[in-house]
Chain A
Amino acid sequence: NAGVTQTPKFQVLKTGQSMTLQCAQDMNHNSMYWYRQDPGMGLRLIYYSASEGTTDKGEVPNGYNVSRLNKREFSLRLESAAPSQTSVYFCASSPRRGSGELFFGEGSRLTVL
């Protein structure tokens, strides 16, 4: 019963470095999401994918790219990390568009120095 698995759990980067956050779900869900969570600001949607092969921008997409590799996996890439991207990142999946509940991973804490 893994659910949504995110890796890595912790990462420290220097400004300008790149990295990819990995997310996989084993619930056969169509929709997947990436959020970031900052103190006092709640969860903000970065990108989402309604189905394999499609991705859409959310509220704060700048500085990020995503890939829906297959139905199970949805990765988030920071090409040139900036201190403003220091945050906790959550991946989530959902069985249905709009009305589906989200199942979240445990989060990836990223610090950019």
Chain B
Amino acid sequence: SQKIEQNSEALNIQEGKTATLTCNYTNYSPAYLQWYRQDPGRGPVFLLLIRENEKEKRKERLKVTFDTTLKQSLFHITASQPADSATYLCALSPSNNNDMRFGAGTRLTVKP
């Protein structure tokens, strides 16, 4: 069966360091992979999208990589700040329909 796994439930890092979150998938061939941020009691908010033929995407302090051979995406936040503390979700979708599936998320805490 299809499975999407994010590396850990929680990740604690010191302010200023780079946070690296992992998303692994099995029995799936996504055309698109997205990352979302979710704050407590709120709906997820879109951050970045990367296509299967792209290796890397950047947006300000965020970087996403997508390795279809390893079936893995890495999400990096550089120069992390306490305001980056949230749960981060990865989501995968095929090219031709709307069946978008999410991982369980990683709760990131950035300590001052």
Contacts and interface: CB of A to CB of B under 8 A. Distances in A.
A97 B42 contact: no
B41 to A, nearest CB: 8
A41 to B, nearest CB: 6
Main secondary structure of the interface of B (DSSP, over half): loop
B98 A43 contact: no
Interface residues of B, number: 29
Main secondary structure of the interface of A (DSSP, over half): strand
A98 B43 contact: no
- Interface hub of B4, B31, B34, B43 (most chain A Cβ within 10 A): B43
Interface string B36-50: 100001111110010
B104 A41 contact: yes
A102 interface: yes
Interface of A: 4, 31, 33, 35, 40-45, 48-50, 56, 58-59, 90, 92, 94, 97-99, 101-107
